[in-house]
Amino acid sequence: MKILFVGDIVGRPGRRILSANLPHLREEHALDAVVVNAENAAGGLGVTPHILDEMTTLDIDGITLGNHTWRKRELAGELDRFDSVARPANYVPGLPGRGSVIVRLADGRRFGLICVVGRVFMEPFRCPFAVAQQEVARLREATPVVLVDIHAEATSEKMAMGWHLDGQCAAVLGTHTHVQTADERLLPKGTAYITDVGMTGPYDSVIGLEPERAVKKFLTGMPNEYRLANGPVCLNAVVVDVDEETGLANSIRRVAHVAE
């Protein structure tokens, strides 16, 4: 099974480049499934039910979120109806939505999808390592193919998650920092890993934002309006090829594209 995982979609520019390139990517890589991280898809912060509905028309099979899940208040009341969307599993129990999901494809095949948020430099959520391992074991009762999105700041925490779950799932894929790393690899026991898949959004930017505003904030320490950059747009992703019998990866390949 070949699965494309698309890095953090940032605002309308990210949604547009994904829509324009997804048919070609499906054909070029002979994809069986597409997963995207959409926690920044609405103006660069959060996602709305309308945008999630829009994404289902783009032939997207699974969606992960992250620490901005609740930025748009309207999502809380509707998240339960999206059965292929995984918000962080290590949130407080009882919140809307699902932390792990079984994604069912049109041909009857299926795979598991889990999202956890890191704790280093972030809010003190439940332990992502314990929660991810628990959810992997639970989903593997339904399908051997399971992907984990570790949405975290620290490279060390993401790497530790990869080693923690090596041999237990198909892939551990880092998101959140919006910069694609060049460390994609197969870990010794067969789990595909990358520290950060990257960002799908404005290219001439600071993680999607206007460079001038980002620089001013760092220089002055003063709050600034959150405004997306204009100009070229990039699409960052990885293609993970998974053995459907063992649930382990055969390969992982980075995808990076920039369009005017």
- Cα separation of 102 and 140, whole Å? 10
pLDDT at 36 (0 to 100): 98
> How much of the chain, in percent, has pLDDT values that exceed 90?
96
Where do we find the tokens 């829009």? 54
Local confidence band at 124 (pLDDT 50, 70, 90 cut-offs): confident
pLDDT at 225 (0 to 100): 83
What is the CATH architecture assignment of 2-259?
4-Layer Sandwich (3.60)
Interval 86-113 mean pLDDT: 97
Residue 197, token pair as written in the block: 């898949």
| Beta carbons of 15 and 51 less than 8 angstroms apart | yes
The candidate with the shortest Cα–Cα distance to 140, out of 113, 158, 117, 120, is 113
Biggest CA–CA distance in the chain, Å, is: 55
- Helix ranges (DSSP H) in the chain: 11-28, 49-56, 73-76, 128-139, 155-165, 211-220
Residue 197 has pLDDT above 90, yes or no: yes
pLDDT at 187 (0 to 100): 98
- Cα separation of 156 and 216, whole Å? 29
pLDDT tens digits for 39-88?
Answer: 999 999 999 999 999 998 898 999 999 999 999 999 999 999 999 999 99
Interval 108-128 mean pLDDT: 96
pLDDT at 55 (0 to 100): 92
Local confidence band at 202 (pLDDT 50, 70, 90 cut-offs): very high
Local confidence band at 226 (pLDDT 50, 70, 90 cut-offs): confident
Residue 188 CB contacts under 8 Å (≥ 6 apart), including other chains:
166, 167
- Cα separation of 80 and 155, whole Å? 31
Say whether 164 is catalytic: no
> Is this model's pTM higher than 0.85 or not?
yes
The catalytic position among 24, 29, 50, 68 is: 68
The candidate with the shortest Cα–Cα distance to 152, out of 176, 178, 181, is 176
Residue 83, token pair as written in the block: 């059965």
